[in-house]
Amino acid sequence: MAISARVALTTTALAFSAALVLAGCSSGGSSQSSGAASTSTTKAASGTQVTVTETEYALKLSQSSFTPGTYTFTADNAGKVTHSLEIDGPGVSDVKTKNLGGGQQAALTVTLKKGTYELYCPVDGHKGLGMDQHITVP
């Protein structure tokens, strides 16, 4: 193989590798959690995607029926004050996002089993003002 052909092949391989690395770094969003659920700040969202729109003072889920499996809940603070999202239920305890300012989002990936789960805003007093939803996985 001629030297110029090797250089061209090597340059193409390096460019392709760099493009893959950049694509992996631009997946966007971040997640934060604690507890027993599987969550990662560097891995792309997995499972069924559910948006939880947070406003003063309500939670609106993008879907209302659930089956056992992996879900990524994206908390979208569409309000003006700070909100957060916490999920508790069978096998999922104290899994929550960081505090989100207006317009910010964060994702939580959890595995839902049969049972009832509570999704709520853990910011002081918000749960009692109506930012509390229960979902049932049959």
Taking the whole predicted model, whether its pTM rises above 0.85 is answered as no
Helices then strands, counting H and E runs in the chain, come out as 1, 8
Summary mean pLDDT of the chain:
79
Residue 137, strand partner residues? 115
pLDDT at 45: 59
pLDDT at 10: 45
pLDDT per residue over 117-130, tens digit each?
999 999 999 999 99
Average pLDDT of the segment spanning 59-71: 97
For residue 56, what are the CA distances in angstroms to 59, 79, 97, 118, 133? 9, 6, 17, 18, 14
Average pLDDT of the segment spanning 87-109: 96
Average pLDDT of the segment spanning 95-123: 97
The whole-angstrom separation of Cα 111 and Cα 104 is 24
**45 HSE (CA, 13 A, CB side):** 19
Answer with the residue of higher pLDDT: 41 or 138: 138
Q: Which of 75, 124, 138 has the alpha carbon at shortest distance from 101?
A: 75
pLDDT at 94: 87
Answer with the residue of higher pLDDT: 4 or 34: 4
Judged against a pLDDT cut of 80, whether residue 64 lies above it is answered with: yes
Residue type present at position 14: L
pLDDT at 136: 97
pLDDT per residue over 39-57, tens digit each?
333 345 578 999 999 999 9
- What DSSP string describes 42-76? SSPP-SEEEEEEEETTEEEES-S---SEEEEEEEE
Judged against a pLDDT cut of 70, whether residue 96 lies above it is answered with: yes
